[in-house]
């Protein structure tokens, strides 16, 4: 549980400190929220604990991100004593209306509740936790300081294996129609999406894929739903942003079987995606769309299993497409004196990632570039490809590192994003974690320069690599050439028991080809 | 105008950059909000500009603080194109319901409006600005990206001299009754408050005080409403937290004339204040309370002027009380080898403050200690004594410095508060401002240690004084002894053309006597 203390929440924090839960203090509340979100993406659920108003409103943006991206996070928040509320006292941190926090959070959570009595608390808490798990969305629970020590009955056990429930007849009809359409397909493709991950359906999905033996792409949001060394995995699809062979495989397929994918602007390459809805089966968490009609109350997990049972094994009709993992076999030869560029950097990093790594790519060019990295067996890829709140990755690395100390967070973050939440580097060091952080210093908001430039896209340049020392330690260095990069990566291996911070100096106008295409598309959409 | 770019707001930012408004980029949105708030406290109104959702929700806590403390701030926020909304597209940064931001901000602003057409925009914008000025509260205006370039009629002129309006008969009755009560007083005292500042009534208030020649205290929220070298100013009153002579002057007065003061928990010394309501006249922005009855629709400014006209000049009955400024005449002799302590530090600083300084004291021991500093002619004192959101002071110094480059921000901030918003030190340097920052390093959340200690009150220790160099420059040093402090203050004077950052090393349990008293009071209230 990540949090920041404050007087209204100290009594609650005492209970947490005395429990089996580890309470991890962050520098501020927004960062606690990001850390809890990233923790949840690895371990299935996350939690944060903050004080009234000043803490609650500060964590709101992280909670909104978890809501948008369906990440289950429980936010506990202290509050004024009930007696003080009844007297309408002008207490510090308050705004006149004591209910304001619960109201505000009702807009960005599945459930927002203010506890009022020991009698009602067990049910109210259980309802909130259940809603959080069932819908994969954050919930908010406000706890008056004086309620913490009040007696209440023991709570009932909670079933954490919650998900939407299928109507059997609707499920059967949807599976039958989809199977019939797929059985006739000659050039099918599978599109794997984020909800496979959120509902823990990775195994079922991989079993379906092995059964069908069809080419499979993911959207950026769904990247790493299965290991990307899988022979059927061909790469990330997002319209005109995609590599050519992936784009053609998806757009020229006669049936696209989309399993848990989202159709957001970025996942659709800013609406440059050309998928004919008349050739599409689109299964979401609790609903299947075939062509232009919908089946409600069909749970994604049931649909995946149903399809596997209904379809013949290894259809010979599917075309063979070069697996994405082939890029791992392209040798990288370093040119020590060459200035480092974005393209060459990521080509090199593709060979650097290990089997236990979790990549965190911040919103911007970082996630577009990192989308082409190959995630090995068990490698995770975490980014906010839909909500896109920059600054997520540094506190996110804290969440990932504490969710599983055997996995190494590898962060790609631009300088603009880094400045948002830079202080949380300190908590990574304090917690004894060993992330590798690549700070891509291109002197400003490059993603926005490409969309639409102006003086607002320039930022103050920092001596970024010196921050680790200021915050307490770790290995840090600067990279200007390919030779520097090799030295830096050797240093990372030598210092595998501590945090590594590598500042990569880039030209301000160096960015991925994908970003240039995205920028043009966004600029056209925004200003047309 | 302070802000952070994002694609939905770039077209709006182009207009701002092309206007007379200076757009100042901050590291993140929360900090833009704090800077705008502090700017407003100096210049009367402030503004911020951010992008949709990720920006809006990130600035929310600063806006809530401005709402609680009645600081006029205009927040402009970009938003998706209107056409995309109508198509219900899944756009990045969105949450399904496009109206969610306007709804959330309606809870913490005087007016929250989403613009929809060029025809309606001029009136909607003017209504929001008028509400902001009249009520001294923040407002929120969401501007779809594609609306920015739409034609609209020229707006009507706005009257910025807005305030509540008195009902003449009610005003006359209230003034008469108050004057009658005050004319009989033998030991009256005046309590000056924050609303005198918010409604720009400093001159009228000082004229009343000179006319009456009675002793005058302020609550912490109202500190510096008039120059504290005024011979009638006796110090800060907040119940048991106050110095003894101030406490007795207020609590033993036969009439307390409260002008624009708030009765919050901290201003009342956590309800240790002992003021009999039967001896009190309490004038607020638009309402007067005498004893236990109220007069609605009485504007504070009219009441002040009315009282002055109704009361005789220089009542001889008021007792003489030693002015607070006497502390400026107590000599300070430095003991170079003595370890620096909180008490000695602030005694020394009282002699260091200059006539053009604006003190920013962050919530915690900083504002309790700094409350006893004497604000010279024209010296301002800024703190969030009611909303108490720690981390306000560093971005706040940015707002103060840019509001008036002739005034020097002097910041007192604890290490816990500093970590919240530390990156904005970078923008202070980038803007060429010359604040003096005293970082009070006592290794954690001291204010909470005193209330209720636990492991959550410990934080990571940084090499704070090295941060200025990392962020781009300035004068920085560490202080451990009284001798170090003299050297540091000499360095500040030598480097008056750049930022100064002084890290003061304190014992973790060194805090003001006032904080110990406050902590005991808070702990009792919270856990009794």
What does the pLDDT look like over A77-132, one tens digit per residue?
Answer: 999 999 888 877 888 999 888 999 999 999 999 999 999 999 999 999 999 999 99
pLDDT by residue (tens digit) across A314-337? 876 777 888 888 888 888 999 999
Which chain B residue is nearest to residue A49, measuring alpha carbons?
A: B456
Q: Identify which of A458, A462, A522 has the shortest CB distance to residue B472.
A: A462
Say if strands A287-290 and A293-296 run parallel, antiparallel, or are unpaired.
antiparallel
CA nearest B465: which of B497, B508, B422? B422
**A213 in the Ramachandran plot: left (φ > 0), alpha (ψ -120 to 50) or beta?**
left
Between CA A304 and CA A200 the distance in angstroms is: 12
Interchain CB distance below 8 Å, B457 and A5: yes
Tell me the chain A residues in contact with residue B3 when contact means C-beta distances shorter than 8 Å: 456
- In angstroms, what separates the C-alpha of B468 from chain A's closest C-alpha? 10
3-class SS shares of chain A: helix, strand, coil, % to 5: 40, 15, 40
Q: Give the tokens for residue B528.
A: 């009794």
CA dihedral B231, B236, B240, B245 (to 10 degrees): -10
Strand partners, A257: A190, A281
Q: Give the tokens for residue A452.
A: 């639409």
- In angstroms, what separates the C-alpha of B402 from chain A's closest C-alpha? 17
Would you state the pLDDT for residue B528? 42
Cβ atoms of B321 and B249 closer than 8 Å: yes
Would you state the pLDDT for residue B274? 86
Band of the pLDDT at A274, cuts 50, 70, 90?
confident
Which chain A residue is nearest to residue B53, measuring alpha carbons?
A: A61
- Mention every residue, 6+ apart, whose C-beta is less than 8 A from residue B157: none
Work out the number of other CB atoms within 10 angstroms of the CB of residue B378: 13
Interchain CB distance below 8 Å, B452 and A30: no
Between CA A384 and CA A526 the distance in angstroms is: 21
DSSP letter at A254? S
CA dihedral A372, A375, A376, A377 (to 10 degrees): -140
Band of the pLDDT at B204, cuts 50, 70, 90?
very high
Band of the pLDDT at B525, cuts 50, 70, 90?
low
Mean predicted confidence (pLDDT) in A398-417: 96
Would you state the pLDDT for residue A215? 95
User: Helices H, strands E: what count in chain A?
Assistant: 20, 19
Strand partners, A361: A412
Between CA A34 and CA A39 the distance in angstroms is: 9
pLDDT by residue (tens digit) across B11-21? 999 999 999 99
Mean predicted confidence (pLDDT) in B119-141: 96
Between CA B38 and CA B43 the distance in angstroms is: 9
Angle of CA points A183, A189, A190, to nearest 5°:
100
- The yes-or-no verdict on residue A461 having pLDDT over 80 is yes
- In angstroms, what separates the C-alpha of B371 from chain A's closest C-alpha? 17
By mean pLDDT, which of A497-511, B319-333, B495-509 is the weakest?
Answer: B319-333
Name the percent of chain A lying above pLDDT 70. Answer: 97
CA nearest B420: which of B381, B480, B358, B462? B462
Between CA B470 and CA B491 the distance in angstroms is: 19
Between CA A55 and CA B215 the distance in angstroms is: 39
Between CA B212 and CA B210 the distance in angstroms is: 6
Tell me the chain B residues in contact with residue A423 when contact means C-beta distances shorter than 8 Å: 419-420, 422-423
Band of the pLDDT at A379, cuts 50, 70, 90?
low
CA nearest B104: which of A34, A139, A106? A106
Band of the pLDDT at B307, cuts 50, 70, 90?
very high
Q: Identify which of A262, A461, A469 has the shortest CB distance to residue B90.
A: A262
- Mention every residue, 6+ apart, whose C-beta is less than 8 A from residue A326: none
Tell me the chain B residues in contact with residue A37 when contact means C-beta distances shorter than 8 Å: none
CA nearest B278: which of B264, B291, B263, B296? B291
Q: Identify which of A10, A28, A387 has the shortest CB distance to residue B452.
A: A10
Tell me the chain A residues in contact with residue B471 when contact means C-beta distances shorter than 8 Å: 460, 462
Tell me the chain B residues in contact with residue A14 when contact means C-beta distances shorter than 8 Å: 452, 454
Interchain CB distance below 8 Å, A91 and B17: no
Phi and psi of B126, rounded to 5°? -65, -40
pLDDT by residue (tens digit) across A194-245? 999 999 999 999 999 999 999 999 988 999 998 999 999 999 998 888 888 8
Between CA B427 and CA B499 the distance in angstroms is: 11
pLDDT mean across residues, chain A = 93
Would you state the pLDDT for residue B378? 67
pLDDT by residue (tens digit) across B341-400? 999 999 999 999 988 899 999 998 888 889 889 988 766 899 999 999 999 999 999 999
Q: Identify which of A28, A84, A522 has the shortest CB distance to residue B7.
A: A522
Name the percent of chain B lying above pLDDT 70. Answer: 97
Band of the pLDDT at B195, cuts 50, 70, 90?
very high
CA atoms within 13 A of residue A431's CA, in its CB half-sphere: 26
**B53 in the Ramachandran plot: left (φ > 0), alpha (ψ -120 to 50) or beta?**
left
Sign of CA dihedral A239, A243, A247, A250: negative
Between CA A369 and CA A413 the distance in angstroms is: 11
Mean predicted confidence (pLDDT) in B34-46: 96
Identify from A470, A474, A518 which residue to disrupt to test chain B contact, counting B C-beta atoms within 10 A and taking the largest count: A470
Q: Identify which of A27, A54, A445 has the shortest CB distance to residue B61.
A: A54
ipTM above 0.90, yes or no: yes
Provide the number of CB pairs (under 8 Å) joining chain A to chain B.
248
Which chain A residue is nearest to residue B388, measuring alpha carbons?
A: A93
Where are the extended beta strands (E) located within A26-174?
46-50, 73-79, 111-114, 139-144
Q: Identify which of A53, A96, A266 has the shortest CB distance to residue B92.
A: A266
By mean pLDDT, which of A293-297, A309-313, B86-90, B155-159 is the weakest?
Answer: B86-90
Between CA A173 and CA B186 the distance in angstroms is: 90
The single residue listed with the structure tokens 């005046």 is B190
Band of the pLDDT at B210, cuts 50, 70, 90?
very high
Between CA A370 and CA A365 the distance in angstroms is: 8
CA atoms within 13 A of residue B437's CA, in its CB half-sphere: 38
- The yes-or-no verdict on residue A526 having pLDDT over 60 is no
Interchain CB distance below 8 Å, B456 and A526: no
Between CA B382 and CA B404 the distance in angstroms is: 14
Interchain CB distance below 8 Å, B64 and A95: yes
Work out the number of other CB atoms within 10 angstroms of the CB of residue B85: 17
Would you state the pLDDT for residue A453? 84
Mean predicted confidence (pLDDT) in A369-382: 84
Name the residue with higher pLDDT: A492 or B272: A492
Interchain CB distance below 8 Å, B60 and A65: no
- In angstroms, what separates the C-alpha of A520 from chain B's closest C-alpha? 12
- Mention every residue, 6+ apart, whose C-beta is less than 8 A from residue A293: none
Name the percent of chain B lying above pLDDT 90. Answer: 77
Strand partners, B121: none
- In angstroms, what separates the C-alpha of A330 from chain B's closest C-alpha? 34
Q: Identify which of B3, B65, B526 has the shortest CB distance to residue A145.
A: B526
Between CA B35 and CA A415 the distance in angstroms is: 22
Band of the pLDDT at A365, cuts 50, 70, 90?
confident
- In angstroms, what separates the C-alpha of B33 from chain A's closest C-alpha? 12
Would you state the pLDDT for residue A528? 42
By mean pLDDT, which of B37-41, B86-90, B414-418 is the weakest?
Answer: B86-90
CA nearest A131: which of A109, A152, A107? A109
Interchain CB distance below 8 Å, A10 and B64: no
Q: Give the tokens for residue A513.
A: 């080809």
Between CA B346 and CA B237 the distance in angstroms is: 18
Tell me the chain A residues in contact with residue B103 when contact means C-beta distances shorter than 8 Å: 107
Q: State whether residue A8 is helix, strand or coil.
A: helix
Interchain CB distance below 8 Å, B387 and A53: yes
Interchain CB distance below 8 Å, A387 and B93: yes
Tell me the chain B residues in contact with residue A53 when contact means C-beta distances shorter than 8 Å: 61, 64, 387
Band of the pLDDT at A278, cuts 50, 70, 90?
very high
Helix (H) or strand (E) segment spanning residue B153: none
Between CA B323 and CA B229 the distance in angstroms is: 8
DSSP letter at A379? -
Cβ atoms of B72 and B137 closer than 8 Å: yes
CA nearest A372: which of A236, A245, A190? A236
- In angstroms, what separates the C-alpha of B148 from chain A's closest C-alpha? 10
- Mention every residue, 6+ apart, whose C-beta is less than 8 A from residue A261: A191, A192, A193, A194, A195, A218, A219, A221, A222, A267, A282
- In angstroms, what separates the C-alpha of B279 from chain A's closest C-alpha? 20
Sign of CA dihedral B210, B373, B269, B317: negative
Interchain CB distance below 8 Å, B462 and A456: no
- The yes-or-no verdict on residue B180 having pLDDT over 50 is yes
- The yes-or-no verdict on residue A511 having pLDDT over 90 is no
Tell me the chain A residues in contact with residue B386 when contact means C-beta distances shorter than 8 Å: 90, 92
- In angstroms, what separates the C-alpha of A33 from chain B's closest C-alpha? 12
Say if strands B2-3 and B24-25 run parallel, antiparallel, or are unpaired.
parallel
Name the percent of chain A lying above pLDDT 90. Answer: 77
Tell me the chain B residues in contact with residue A469 when contact means C-beta distances shorter than 8 Å: 463, 466
pTM: 0.96
Tell me the chain A residues in contact with residue B8 when contact means C-beta distances shorter than 8 Å: 526
- The yes-or-no verdict on residue B257 having pLDDT over 90 is yes
Helix (H) or strand (E) segment spanning residue B344: helix B342-350
CA nearest B167: which of B342, B10, B299? B299
Interchain CB distance below 8 Å, B92 and A389: no
Would you state the pLDDT for residue A239? 86
DSSP letter at B493? H
């Amino acid at each position: 549980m990540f949090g920041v203390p404050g007087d209204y929440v100290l009594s609650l924090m005492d209970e947490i400190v005395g429990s089996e839960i580890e309470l991890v203090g962050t520098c501020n509340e927004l960062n606690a929220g990001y850390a809890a979100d990233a923790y949840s993406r690895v371990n299935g659920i996350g939690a944060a604990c903050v004080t009234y108003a000043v803490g609650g409103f500060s964590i709101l943006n992280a909670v909104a991100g978890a809501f948008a991206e369906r990440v289950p996070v429980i936010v506990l928040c202290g509050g004024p004593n009930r007696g003080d509320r009844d007297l309408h006292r002008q207490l510090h941190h308050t705004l006149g209306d004591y209910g304001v926090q619960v109201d505000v959070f009702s807009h960005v959570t599945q459930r927002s509740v203010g506890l009022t009595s020991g009698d009602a608390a067990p049910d109210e808490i259980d309802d909130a936790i259940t809603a959080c798990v069932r819908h994969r969305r954050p919930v908010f629970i406000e706890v008056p300081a004086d309620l913490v020590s009040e007696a209440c009955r023991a709570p009932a056990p909670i079933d954490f294996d919650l998900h939407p429930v299928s109507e059997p007849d609707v499920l059967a009809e949807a599976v039958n129609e989809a199977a019939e359409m797929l059985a006739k397909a000659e050039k099918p493709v599978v599109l794997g999406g984020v909800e496979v991950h959120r509902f823990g359906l990775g195994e079922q999905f991989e079993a379906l894929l092995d059964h069908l033996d069809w080419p499979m792409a993911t959207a950026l949001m769904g990247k790493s739903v299965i290991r990307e060394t899988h022979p059927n995995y061909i790469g990330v699809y997002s319209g005109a942003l995609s590599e050519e062979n992936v784009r053609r495989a998806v757009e020229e397929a006669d049936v696209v079987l989309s399993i848990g994918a989202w159709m957001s602007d970025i996942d659709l390459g800013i609406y440059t995606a050309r998928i004919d809805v008349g050739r599409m089966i689109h299964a979401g968490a609790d609903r299947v769309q075939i062509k232009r009609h919908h089946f409600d109350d069909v749970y994604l997990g049931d649909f995946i299993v149903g399809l596997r049972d209904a379809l013949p094994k290894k259809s010979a009709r599917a075309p063979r497409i070069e697996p994405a993992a082939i890029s791992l076999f392209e040798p990288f030869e370093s040119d020590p004196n060459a200035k480092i560029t974005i393209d060459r950097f990521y080509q090199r990093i593709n060979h650097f990632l290990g089997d236990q790594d979790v990549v965190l790519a911040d919103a911007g060019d970082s996630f577009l570039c990192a989308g082409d990295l190959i995630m090995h067996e068990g490698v995770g890829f975490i980014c906010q490809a839909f909500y896109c709140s920059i600054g997520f990755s540094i506190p996110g690395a804290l969440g990932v590192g504490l969710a599983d100390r055997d996995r190494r967070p590898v962060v790609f973050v631009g300088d603009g994003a880094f400045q948002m939440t830079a202080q949380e580097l300190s908590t990574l060091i304090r917690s004894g974690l060993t992330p590798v952080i690549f700070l891509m210093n291109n002197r400003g908001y490059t993603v926005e320069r490409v969309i639409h430039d102006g003086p607002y896209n320039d930022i103050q340049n920092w001596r970024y690599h010196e921050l680790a020392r200021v915050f307490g330690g770790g290995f840090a260095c600067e990279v200007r050439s390919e030779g520097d990069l090799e030295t830096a990566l050797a240093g990372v291996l030598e210092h595998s028991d501590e945090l590594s911070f590598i500042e990569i100096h880039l030209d301000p106008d160096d960015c991925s080809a994908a970003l240039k295409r995205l920028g043009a598309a966004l600029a056209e959409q925004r200003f047309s």
